[in-house]
Amino acid sequence: MVYATPEAIRELTVAVDQATEGNKLLVEAYKNMHGGHPVEVASRFLKARENDVSRALQMILDSLQWRIIDDIDNVLSRPIEPKDTYDAIRESIPIGMTGFCRKGRPVFVIGVGSNGLDKFPPHMYVQSHIQINEYRDKVILPNSSRRMGYFVGTCLKIFDMTNLRISTLSDIKILSLIATIDDLNYPEKTDTYYIANAPYIFQACWRVVRPLLHERTKRKVHVLSGCGREELLKVMDENVLPDFCRSDIKLEDRKTESCFSPSHPFHEEMWNYMKQEASKLKCVASSTKKTSHTAVPLPREEEFRSSQSTCHHFADNVVREVTCSSHG
């Protein structure tokens, strides 16, 4: 496992301060990025770059430039409107938050098998994803840290594979864009990826994807048996489990109780927060124009070649794997 050494953390924090000194935009962007915890940010970026200080520094500077160019620090003041459109995006790329694990980490659930990313332009899905990331980092995690009495800077994610089909892989381009944003700008923010309700096709997908992942990522992936109720209960209380694991929720009530529902408290609170931020900065009127220019920072050349190859060949390889397995 790759660790960020204390020496590397000290060297990187000094290097970032020196690289941003005298540039008000960079200084402000960096301040907003670390939120008062520069050591934790240095540790995350170092882990993402195998404890290499120079590469981690470049990664941070690239991310800061992205935040400045696309005004990411104000993305929460640009709600996607009208509310019906915001809700429709949430329903077509199901994601929600069920609560917190016993260590105070927020628990997010993503409905991978229920994606329908063909209803809106890609940039709207990208913006929506960035807003959730920023809301997590600026609101949810700081609130949890205050409640727990210690710093909480990471989350848990549960991927629900119910209804996963080969046709779902047609959304690989948008999903790859979102994954790239997370890898380059929000590294090491997830401690564990739980895979729930995995159908046969997931095993084929996993055989294709697993060799392409970093070792540090492989170790974070836990494929659960069925819904994974017993495994998840080891780290969270029952009331935090996703609805498909809850024995106290009737089948007919699961749609309204689901964390994917736009009426779920997480989505309602996030929407209200963005409206308040928009009111403060008086930028609601310009939100439509601004949202069409959210860019994705390109990785360095060697990383770009890897991600490009994965995107181009992923679906074909999965289909081939499924076909071979079904005839084996």
What is the spatial distance between Cα 95 and Cα 175, in angstroms, rounded to a whole number? 13
**Residue 159's CB: how many other CB atoms inside 10 A?**
21
What's the full length of the chain, in residues? 328
What percentage of the chain exceeds 90 in pLDDT? Answer: 61
Task: Say what the pLDDT of residue 228 is.
Answer: 95
The predicted model scores a pTM of: 0.86
Helix (H, G, I), strand (E, B) or coil at 190: strand
Task: Say what the pLDDT of residue 320 is.
Answer: 52
What is the spatial distance between Cα 221 and Cα 213, in angstroms, rounded to a whole number? 10
Predicted confidence (pLDDT) per residue in 35-87, tens digit: 999 999 999 999 999 999 999 999 999 999 999 999 999 999 999 999 999 99
The answer, yes or no, to whether residue 92 has pLDDT greater than 60, is yes
Mean pLDDT of 248-258: 56
Token pair for residue 92?
A: 């077509």
The answer, yes or no, to whether residue 129 has pLDDT greater than 80, is yes
Where does the pLDDT of residue 287 fall: very low under 50, low under 70, confident under 90, or very high at 90 and above? Answer: very low
Task: Say what the pLDDT of residue 118 is.
Answer: 78
What is the spatial distance between Cα 57 and Cα 226, in angstroms, rounded to a whole number? 41
The answer, yes or no, to whether residue 254 has pLDDT greater than 70, is no
Nearest in space to 294 (alpha carbons), one of 25, 30, 59, 69: 69
In the chain the domains, ranked by start, together with CATH numbers, are 6-69 (1.10.8), 76-276 (3.40.525.10)
| % helix, strand, coil for the chain, step of 5 | 65, 10, 30
Where does the pLDDT of residue 170 fall: very low under 50, low under 70, confident under 90, or very high at 90 and above? Answer: low
Mean pLDDT of 201-228: 84
